């Protein structure tokens, strides 16, 4: 069983929201689920997997500026702020800290709901550390 964990973090890299999808599902599904519950923010940093015109438009409608590099196969390249994009390391650090929890890293729980709850419990502790 494969899963993807989509997360929203604050500026310090603390987890705020989670959504889990099957491993073979596109990142657009996670983006669609999380876009309605995004907190008020100035910027959103994401990787190439979240590059979609509808996602960019939805974020702009919410008043959030986007810093997502365009996919390589885009016909019209999209510019992004490279200096700001380098701050995405905080999200990667958050996922690394989640994997410090052995239960989350090794995926002992086969049931997706139990796995998500274990990840949420770990994220709750990480938020306050």
pLDDT digits (tens, 9 = 90+) for 2-54: 888 899 999 888 999 989 988 888 888 888 998 888 889 999 999 988 999 99
Q: What's the structural domain count of the chain?
A: 1
What does the pLDDT read at residue 95?
Answer: 92
What does the pLDDT read at residue 111?
Answer: 87
Cβ proximity of 63 and 69 under 8 Å: no
We report the CATH number of the domain holding residue 73 as 3.30.420
Q: For residues 46 and 103, what is the distance between their CA atoms, to the nearest angstrom?
A: 26
Specify the pTM: 0.83
Cβ proximity of 118 and 109 under 8 Å: yes
Quick one: pLDDT band at residue 1, thresholds 50, 70, 90? low
Q: For residues 99 and 93, what is the distance between their CA atoms, to the nearest angstrom?
A: 10
Lowest mean pLDDT among 40-44, 62-66, 105-109: 105-109
Q: How far is CA 91 from CA 20, 24, 76, 114, 121, in A?
A: 16, 22, 27, 23, 17
Q: Which domain holds residue 27?
A: 3-128
pLDDT mean across residues, the chain: 89
What does the pLDDT read at residue 96?
Answer: 92
């Amino acid at each position: 069983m494969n899963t993807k964990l989509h997360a929203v973090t604050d500026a310090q890299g603390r987890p705020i929201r989670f959504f889990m999808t099957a491993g073979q599902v596109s990142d657009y599904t996670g983006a669609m689920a999380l876009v309605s519950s995004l907190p008020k923010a100035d910027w959103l940093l994401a990787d190439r997997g979240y590059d979609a015109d509808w996602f960019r438009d939805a974020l702009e409608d919410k008043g959030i500026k986007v810093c997502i590099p365009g996919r390589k196969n885009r016909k019209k390249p999209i510019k992004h702020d490279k200096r700001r994009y380098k701050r995405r390391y905080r999200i990667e650090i958050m996922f690394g800290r989640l994997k410090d929890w052995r239960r989350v890293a090794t995926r002992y729980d086969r049931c997706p709901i139990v796995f998500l709850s274990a990840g949420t419990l770990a994220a709750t502790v990480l938020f306050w550390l």
